[in-house]
Structures are given as C-alpha cells and as structure tokens.
Amino acid sequence: MGLHTGSIKGVVASVILFGLLLFAGHRLTGAADHFDSPPRTDPLVDPTPDLAADIADVYAFYTDDAVVIALTFAGPVPNDRAPTFDRDVLYRINVSNDGDPTDTEFPVEFRFGPGSGGFGLSVTNLPGGREMLGPVETNIEKDGILVRAGNFDDPFVFDLQGFRETRATGELSFDNRRDFFRGQNDTGIVIQFPRSMIQRGNSPLDIWGETRRFGGQI
C-alpha cells in the first residue's frame, strides 16, 4: 500500500509500491492508494485535498515485446471534469531491474507545463538518457517508447462505502453490487517500454510510483 513521508527540503512526497513479476511467482504487492494519506488527500478529512499529488493506482502488465505501466492520480472525479495538470507536482515511475526493490535503475520523471497550445508533458530519466516532450491527450513516441497523459476511466472496482462501514463497526459490510468508482475518472500517465530496453535477464521488474509537490504543502 502507500508509504508517505513528511517534508524533506521543501518537497512533500507520496509513494506507492508495486512489484511487477515477469518470470517468477513471488513478491507481488497491491497497488490501490486512493485518498492516502487521508490528512492530505481524503476530502472527508481535508476539505481542500491535494488531488494533483494523490496517487490513485499503479498498474503494470506486459506482452511478448513490451511492458506497460500506468500511474493514475487526482481522482476519482466526475467524468465531465477536466484532467488535472499541476506544474508544481513531480510524478515519478521507478523501475528496478536488478532484483533489489530498494533502489531504482530507471527513475522516470514526468512534469506538466502550460504552453501556447495547452498543457504539455515532459518525460526525463528514460533509459539511455532519452527525453520526450509533447502535448497531453496525445500519444508521444520515441525510440519505441510510447507515452500518453490525460483523462482515463477509473479502472478500480471497490465498495468504498462498505469499507468505511466495516472499519467503523468492525463488521463486514461489503456489497459487490456497489462500485464507488463507476463512471468516474482519474488523470493518468501511461508509458510503454520495449521489454529489451528495461529487462535484465530473468530478474523481476519492481515498479513503484511517487509524487512530490515542490515547495511543500500547507
């Protein structure tokens, strides 16, 4: 689940861990992180939550040739609301390919910024020192890497009401007919790598997402 730290040199960080296992059957962790930590991101606790820095989920899957990673945030929100692009939040997808999930070989960083044609996305720290730049809500491609940022239907299925009632009463109150996230959106960043670019032999890929707000948070 989510690991949150305090302010470090003016930067407030939110981290979620996700292990992607390509070849073995161990060390797989959950990805859901909505409203965590509550004092900063849950509207029931903070009337002005930091939506832009609130990680929703991290997803990863692979094909024969590619690894696809999605980091969603700033949700859930009604599907008629515009995506959230905050120039003061750094988004990072960390990929470790040496079997040691305590470090990262590819700390890929994403930043949003306004331009003449609307918001753009900058991607740095890609394998081989590559960098990418392009508009949001558009596929950006370079050297076999594909990136897109924008609004996505929230793929998470969960009875949040049942969870809160269970936590409050100590009695299981889940109802599989309720899906709190149905019909709602997250802003998301999706990146696809060629497997050969980030894979190291038979070692698993450990993947975790992170957000950092520059200047701290009041």
- 45 sits in the region (left: phi over 0; alpha: psi -120 to 50; else beta) called alpha
**119-172 tens-digit pLDDT:** 999 999 999 999 999 999 999 999 999 999 999 998 888 898 999 999 999 999
26 pLDDT tier (thresholds 50, 70, 90): very low
Please tell me the pTM assigned to this model. Answer: 0.77
CA distance 62 to 43: 34
**190-202 tens-digit pLDDT:** 999 999 999 988 8
Q: Cis ω on the peptide bond leading into residue 155 (within 30° of 0)?
A: no
**Parallel, antiparallel, or unpaired for β 11-20 and 140-142?**
unpaired
> Which region among 71-75, 103-107, 109-113, 212-216 has the lowest average model confidence (pLDDT)?
212-216
